Structure formats: structure tokens, C-alpha cells
């Protein structure tokens, strides 16, 4: 491959890294054509971009990016596919679901999620449990709404009780 071609590919990888907030490095080399197609379809349905890259080109693209990615460099061995997503736990959940059908592959090598690096297959459960930004916002909104709902509920029930008491008293006077 020519040096100019490598430069173009490195720039393409760097642009894609900048478009997404997280990425997963996955080993998919042992998958047959049918399983690879199934993985690509599952990624497409989940708004996850799957890209197969050369380790050296990915290494150079990461070196050109801000931040320290040195922990990931050790995982750049063998065939590597990258899963890009803006939802931190989506690729982990997809990998977990996919692995239930095939115990061996795809195998998680490393992940960069919410400015944290996770290395190794054993991190898959941790990554699945990470809440996405939207899930966290929903939790905060629910917590904020809870006291307001309680106040409204108390006022509503109190009004009903008060109305009942007044009605009973007015009937007694008749």
C-alpha cells in the first residue's frame, strides 16, 4: 500500500473516531460469512458502525488524536474490527446478545467509553451495565419529578377529603 493511501485511510479512521463518542475493538476474524453478515445487520439496526482496520493504521490515527490511548495499543494484535457508537453501552449489549449464540466470537479486545478505557473480554459485563447519557437524564428527570408528584398527589387527596368533610357537614345542618 502506498504511503498516500495509508495517509488517506488514517485520516478516514481519525474522522470516524471524532464523529462518535465511544468505540470498541473487537476480534471477528474467526466468524464465517453468515455470522459476519448477521453481526453487520445487528450493528446497522442498533446505529453502530462496524469497520475492519489494520492495527498499525488505527494506532497512528489514535496517536494523532487528543488524549492518552496507550492502554489500547496492547490490544492491537490480530484482526481488529471497530464498533463505533454514540451510546456507550449499545455495542456491549449487542456483543453480549451475539455471543449467546456463539460462545467464542466476537471477542471484546478493548473499549473507549465516556473517556474511560476498558481492556479485556472480562469487561463486557461492566460495559453492559453502564448507563447511556439519555438513561441518566431520564433517571434525573424522574427523581426531580417525584417530589412534585407527591405534592400534587397530597394536595389532590387533601382537597377530596376536605370536600367530603364539607359536604358531610352541610348535610348534617339540613
Residue 100, pLDDT score: 78
Q: Which residue has the cell 472480562?
A: 122
Residue 152, pLDDT score: 67
Residue 162, pLDDT score: 67
CATH number of 3-130: 3.30.70.1730
* CB neighbour list of residue 92: distance below 8 Å, 6 or more residues apart: 24, 108, 111, 124, 127, 128, 130
Q: What is the pLDDT of residues 158-167, one digit of tens each?
A: 556 666 777 7
φ, ψ for residue 58, nearest 5 deg: -65, -40
Alpha helices in the chain (DSSP H): 3-19, 33-45, 55-63, 70-73, 90-99, 124-129, 133-173
Residue 29, pLDDT score: 85
Q: List the chain domain ranges.
A: 3-130, 131-174
Residue 157, pLDDT score: 64
The length of the chain, given as a count of residues: 174
Ranges in the chain, pLDDT < 50: none
Amino acid at each position: 500500500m502506498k504511503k498516500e493511501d495509508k495517509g488517506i485511510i488514517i485520516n478516514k479512521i481519525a474522522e470516524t473516531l471524532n464523529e462518535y463518542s465511544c468505540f470498541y475493538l473487537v476480534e471477528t476474524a474467526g466468524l464465517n460469512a453468515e455470522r459476519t453478515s448477521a453481526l453487520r445487520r445487528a450493528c446497522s439496526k442498533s446505529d453502530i458502525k462496524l469497520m475492519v482496520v489494520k492495527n498499525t493504521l488505527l494506532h497512528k490515527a489514535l496517536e494523532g488524536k487528543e488524549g492518552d490511548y496507550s492502554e489500547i495499543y496492547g490490544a492491537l494484535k490480530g484482526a481488529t474490527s471497530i464498533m463505533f457508537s454514540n451510546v456507550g453501552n449499545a455495542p456491549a449489549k449487542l456483543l453480549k446478545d451475539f455471543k449467546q449464540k456463539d460462545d467464542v466470537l466476537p471477542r471484546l479486545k478493548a473499549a473507549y467509553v465516556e473517556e474511560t478505557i476498558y481492556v479485556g473480554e472480562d469487561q463486557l459485563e461492566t460495559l453492559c451495565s453502564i448507563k447511556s447519557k439519555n438513561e441518566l437524564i431520564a433517571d434525573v428527570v424522574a427523581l426531580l419529578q417525584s417530589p412534585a408528584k407527591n405534592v400534587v398527589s397530597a394536595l389532590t387527596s387533601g382537597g377530596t377529603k376536605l370536600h367530603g368533610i364539607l359536604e358531610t357537614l352541610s348535610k348534617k345542618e339540613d
